[in-house]
């Protein structure tokens, strides 16, 4: 868990107005720092399943807040991702997913044909 000074620093850095303590940007930044600390803890305590559950909960909450921020303020979302150095996997549309699967299947078929040709030679 974050100590008070660390939390205040994060709030000061990411606040959107003078008395801001709970905007999406601030919440995401705090969750990101907590996630980093929990990840570090879990690397040394591999069997701490209670903390692992807490980590998964924090990651899910951050993802929900990021989705909300993307819908409401695209520029702030992009700036925050760059500042926190987060990699976000964008959800794919069903049509795009089908196309990717077809491409993968086609590539596999081509590789099989090439292997068969090599074995015949």
pLDDT more than 90, % of the chain: 67
Residue 80 CB neighbour total at 10 angstroms: 21
Q: Which two tokens stand for residue 37?
A: 């600390």
Comparison of pLDDT for 120 and 59, the residue scoring more: 59
What confidence tens digit (pLDDT) does each residue in 65-86 have?
A: 999 999 999 999 999 999 999 9
On whether the CB atoms of residues 29 and 10 are closer than 8 A, the answer is yes
d(CA 34, CA 39): 9
Of 60, 64, 66, nearest to 80 by C-alpha is 66
Half-sphere exposure of 120 (CA within 13 A, CB side): 6
Predicted TM-score (pTM) of this structure? 0.73
Q: How confident is the model at residue 121 (pLDDT cuts 50, 70, 90)?
A: low
On whether the CB atoms of residues 66 and 90 are closer than 8 A, the answer is no
Q: What is the CATH number of domain 4-90?
A: 1.10.287.10
């Amino acid at each position: 868990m974050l100590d008070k000074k660390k939390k205040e620093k994060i709030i000061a850095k990411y606040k959107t107005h003078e008395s801001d303590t709970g905007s999406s940007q601030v919440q995401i930044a705090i969750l990101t720092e907590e996630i980093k600390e929990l990840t570090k803890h879990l690397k040394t305590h591999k069997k701490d399943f209670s903390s692992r559950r807490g980590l998964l909960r924090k990651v899910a909450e951050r993802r929900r807040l990021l989705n909300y921020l993307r819908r409401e303020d695209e520029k702030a979302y992009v700036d925050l991702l760059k500042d926190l150095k987060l990699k976000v996997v964008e959800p794919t549309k069903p049509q795009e997913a089908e196309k990717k699967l077809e491409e993968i299947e086609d590539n596999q078929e081509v590789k099989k044909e090439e292997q068969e040709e090599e074995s015949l030679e």
